[in-house]
Amino acid sequence: MARSEATTSRFVIVWGSLMVLALASFLLSFLHLGMGGAFIALSIGLIKAVLIATFFMELIDQPSISRWAFAVGIGLALLLLVMIGTDVLTRQVTGITQPGLIGMPRP
Amino acid sequence: MFTGEVELQFQDREQQTHAAELGMWVFMASEVLFFSGLFALFTAYRLEYADAFRLAASQTDLGLGTANTFILLTSSLFVALSTHGVKSGWKPSSIVRLLSGTIGLGVIFLALKLLEYAHHFNEGFYPGPYYTNTELPGRGARMFFDLYYAMTGLHAIHVVIGLLLMIWMIVLARRRVLTPEYHTPLALCGIYWHFVDIVWVFLWPMFYLMRA
């Protein structure tokens, strides 16, 4: 029974941390920090995602094969994001949208 | 079905539970990849149309988006506590109350999302070729709102699926199918709900916080 209460408080503490982090993101958005602000907002989002996955989804208590199954998906998604970001940032020809493709009248 | 009986192909309940959980985590990995295509598109266009995206993000409702963030995070707490409650032998009525709270918050989330869509439509921020807003006529703003509707719409569909799963869990809790020994369906549905929460944790800064 004592273990049950400890776990309940753990969930509440994690929820409280998530709320504080969300509030921090909200308040920081008013500072208009440009790209730095975007980096901070996404970093805080990443911390919140790790907290949710670790404690609410109980990834911490899962067998390693389940953790690896999820980690492979995350890893491939990150690879996709990094490769596409690198591609766009290093292109010699500016523009990734075919001219005239958007806003054309429907046939 | 879903009575906790050990199926023929498993040696015992523990092995059956581990197989179900592994299957759920593989499904979650596929969901990550499913969403990552859209996140990659957003990354590419955000880099290309940085200024237009920041201006377009200023048109989204920061108050409603933030409220929805707190709502989803709290709903996740309720789901986590309900799973923990079943494992700890809490009364079914307590589990039903927690799951009902989750459903209530999920419905509020969807209602606020629809309200936001209505505001955007009034301002001409329609998706695709129906975009009519004249204050932000550029291609970047159009791409922002195309991605906004695609990603938040897909997320909303996941919320609806999650709500249906929670209704099903209430039925199982009322029938006293969920016990400290057998709680796999709720644990798996909980993982799904938390994943939906994680997706929103990233959509929120992308569409609401990274503004001009």
Reported as a pLDDT band with limits 50, 70 and 90, residue A32 is confident
Interchain pair A70, B33: CB under 8 A: no
pLDDT in tens, chain B (212 residues): 566 688 888 888 888 989 999 999 999 999 999 999 999 999 999 988 999 999 999 999 999 999 999 999 999 999 999 999 999 999 999 999 999 999 999 999 999 999 999 999 999 999 989 999 988 888 899 999 999 999 999 999 999 999 999 999 999 999 999 999 999 999 999 999 999 999 999 999 999 999 87
Joined tokens for residue B162: 């999650």
Joined tokens for residue B62: 């920061």
Reported as a pLDDT band with limits 50, 70 and 90, residue A104 is low
Reported as a pLDDT band with limits 50, 70 and 90, residue A1 is very low
CA closest to A71 among chain B residues: B29
Determine contact, residues B68/B112, Cβ cutoff 8 Å. Answer: yes
CA closest to A49 among chain B residues: B198
Helix axes A35-51, B184-204, angle to 10 degrees: 170
Interchain pair A45, B44: CB under 8 A: no
State how far residue A6 is from chain B, nearest Cα, in angstroms.
Answer: 11
A100 touches chain B (CB under 8 A): no
- Report pLDDT for B8: 85
CA–CA gap between residue B140 and residue B119 (Å, rounded):
20
- Report pLDDT for B7: 84
A5 vs A92, residue with greater confidence: A92
ipTM over 0.90: yes
Of B32, B40, B209, Cβ closest to residue A74: B32
CA–CA gap between residue B142 and residue B145 (Å, rounded):
5
Of B193, B189, B191, B197, residue with least CA distance to B168: B189
What's the pTM value of the predicted model, to 2 decimals?
Answer: 0.91
To the nearest 10°, the Cα dihedral for B49, B55, B57, B58?
170
Interchain pair B47, A88: CB under 8 A: yes
CA distances from B87 to A7, B168, B179, B183 (A): 11, 18, 7, 7
Over residues A64-70, the mean pLDDT reads 94
State how far residue A12 is from chain B, nearest Cα, in angstroms.
Answer: 7
Determine contact, residues B108/B159, Cβ cutoff 8 Å. Answer: no
To the nearest 10°, the Cα dihedral for B122, B128, B129, B133?
30
CA–CA gap between residue A57 and residue B190 (Å, rounded):
7
